[in-house]
Amino acid sequence: MSALLRLDQAHRLFYGADELSAVYRDGERLWPFGPDLLYAGGGAGFVIVPEIGGVFTDTAGTTPASVPSSLARVNDISGNGIDVTQATAAQRPVLGRAPVSRRNAIANSHVADAVLLGTVAAAASALDNGRTIPMERYTSTSTPATLVTTGLHKTYPMLAGIEWTISAYIRPLANRYIYFGSNGAGGQSNVGGIIRIDTTNDSIALVRTFANTFPGAYKIQNLGGGLYRATINGRYTSQTNSKTISVWCSDQLVTTNTTATFNVFTQAPNGPFDAGGWQYEEGAPPELNPDPTPWQHVGAATSDVTEEDTPDFPLIRFDNVDDRLIGTLPGAVSGDLVIAGKNGSLIESVSLASGSAILVGSGCPPVAARALIAVGDLVGAAVFNKTLSLDERDRLMRYFGKRGAKGLYQLGPELLTNPSFDVAGGAGWTTSGLADFSTPGQVRIADVAATDGAISQQVMGVAAGDLICVEYEIVSENSTISNSFRVRFGASLGSAGDGDVLIGLDPVGVNKLYHQARRDNPFMQFLAFSTGTEVVLNYISAKKMTAGAIP
Mean pLDDT for the stretch of residues 42-59: 82
pLDDT at position 14, please? 67
pLDDT at position 283, please? 67
Cis previous bond, 32, omega within 30: yes
Is the domain of 419 the same as that of 378? no
pLDDT: which is higher, 25 or 545 = 545
Has residue 263 got a pLDDT over 50? no
Closest CA to 348 of 465, 462, 514, 540: 514
pLDDT at position 286, please? 46
The rounded percent of the chain whose pLDDT value lies above 90 is 44
Q: What is the mean pLDDT of the chain?
A: 83
What stretches of 184-240 adopt beta strand conformation (E)? 193-198, 203-209, 213-224, 227-236
Has residue 327 got a pLDDT over 70? yes
Lowest mean pLDDT among 4-8, 240-244, 392-396: 4-8
- CATH number for the domain including 238? 2.60.120
Q: What is the DSSP string of 67-85?
A: TTPBPSEE---SSS---EE
Is the domain of 81 the same as that of 147? no
CA distance 96 to 400: 16
pLDDT band (50, 70, 90) for residue 186: very low
Closest CA to 472 of 408, 521, 542: 542
Task: Name residues whose C-beta falls within 8 Å of residue 424's C-beta, 6 or more positions apart in sequence.
Answer: 437, 440
Is the domain of 286 the same as that of 173? yes
Q: What is the DSSP string of 410-460?
A: EEEEE-SSSTT--SGGGTT-EEESEEE--STT-EEEE-BTTB-EEEEEE-T
CA distance 165 to 106: 12
pLDDT at position 188, please? 44
pLDDT: which is higher, 290 or 238 = 238
Closest CA to 345 of 11, 25, 35: 35
Lowest mean pLDDT among 335-349, 352-366, 486-500: 352-366
pLDDT at position 259, please? 47
Mean pLDDT for the stretch of residues 40-44: 60
* Cα dist from 147 to 151, 167, 178, 239, 279, whole Å: 9, 19, 12, 24, 22
Closest CA to 370 of 410, 413, 339, 394: 339
In a domain, 24, yes or no: no
Is the domain of 233 the same as that of 348? no
pLDDT at position 114, please? 85
Is the domain of 304 the same as that of 321? no
pLDDT band (50, 70, 90) for residue 11: low
pLDDT band (50, 70, 90) for residue 19: low
Has residue 444 got a pLDDT over 90? yes
Domain count, the chain: 3
CA distance 227 to 206: 20
Is the domain of 444 the same as that of 494? yes
Q: Is the CB of residue 437 less than 8 Å from the CB of residue 443?
A: yes
pLDDT band (50, 70, 90) for residue 266: very low
In a domain, 1, yes or no: no
pLDDT at position 243, please? 79
Q: Name beta bridge partners: 444.
A: 436, 536
pLDDT: which is higher, 507 or 183 = 507
pLDDT band (50, 70, 90) for residue 411: very high
CA distance 447 to 87: 39
Distance of CA 268 to the CA centre of its chain: 39
Is the domain of 214 the same as that of 73? no
pLDDT at position 359, please? 79
Q: Name beta bridge partners: 346.
A: 339
Is the domain of 76 the same as that of 211? no
pLDDT at position 260, please? 43
Has residue 85 got a pLDDT over 80? yes
Sign of the four-CA dihedral 180, 183, 187, 188: negative
In a domain, 463, yes or no: yes
pLDDT at position 195, please? 84
Has residue 524 got a pLDDT over 80? yes
Is the domain of 301 the same as that of 401? no
Which of 359, 382, 407 is the last residue before a domain boundary? 407
Has residue 402 got a pLDDT over 50? yes
Is the domain of 302 the same as that of 177? yes
Angle, CA 527 vertex, CA 542 and CA 369 arms, to 5°: 55
pLDDT at position 144, please? 60
CA distance 534 to 419: 19
Task: Name residues whose C-beta falls within 8 Å of residue 403's C-beta, 6 or more positions apart in sequence.
Answer: 49, 51, 100, 313, 340, 379, 380
Has residue 229 got a pLDDT over 70? yes
Has residue 93 got a pLDDT over 90? yes
pLDDT at position 350, please? 86
pLDDT band (50, 70, 90) for residue 372: confident
Mean pLDDT for the stretch of residues 415-432: 93
Mean pLDDT for the stretch of residues 261-275: 62
Which of 270, 285, 310 is the last residue before a domain boundary? 310
Which of 354, 379, 407 is the last residue before a domain boundary? 407
pLDDT band (50, 70, 90) for residue 34: low
CA distance 443 to 32: 52
Has residue 170 got a pLDDT over 90? yes
Is the domain of 275 the same as that of 331? no
In a domain, 439, yes or no: yes
CA distance 491 to 493: 7
pLDDT at position 377, please? 93
In a domain, 26, yes or no: no
pLDDT at position 143, please? 66
Mean pLDDT for the stretch of residues 459-479: 90
pLDDT: which is higher, 397 or 361 = 397
Is the domain of 123 the same as that of 233? yes
Q: pLDDT tens, 306-321?
A: 999 999 999 999 988 8
pLDDT at position 167, please? 92
Identity of residue 186: G
In a domain, 180, yes or no: yes
Q: Which domain holds residue 238?
A: 114-310
In a domain, 82, yes or no: yes
3-state DSSP call for residue 465? coil
Task: Name residues whose C-beta falls within 8 Å of residue 513's C-beta, 6 or more positions apart in sequence.
Answer: 369, 370, 373, 469, 470, 487, 501, 503
Has residue 261 got a pLDDT over 50? no
- CATH number for the domain including 542? 2.60.120.260
In a domain, 22, yes or no: no
Q: Which 3-state string (H, E, C) describes 263-298?
A: CCCCCCCCCCEEEEEEEEEECCCCCCCCCCCCCCEE
Mean pLDDT for the stretch of residues 268-275: 77
pLDDT at position 311, please? 92
pLDDT at position 435, please? 94
Has residue 510 got a pLDDT over 50? yes
The rounded percent of the chain whose pLDDT value lies above 70 is 80
Has residue 215 got a pLDDT over 60? no
Angle, CA 497 vertex, CA 421 and CA 482 arms, to 5°: 60
**Most confident of the following: 446-460, 481-495, 501-515:** 446-460
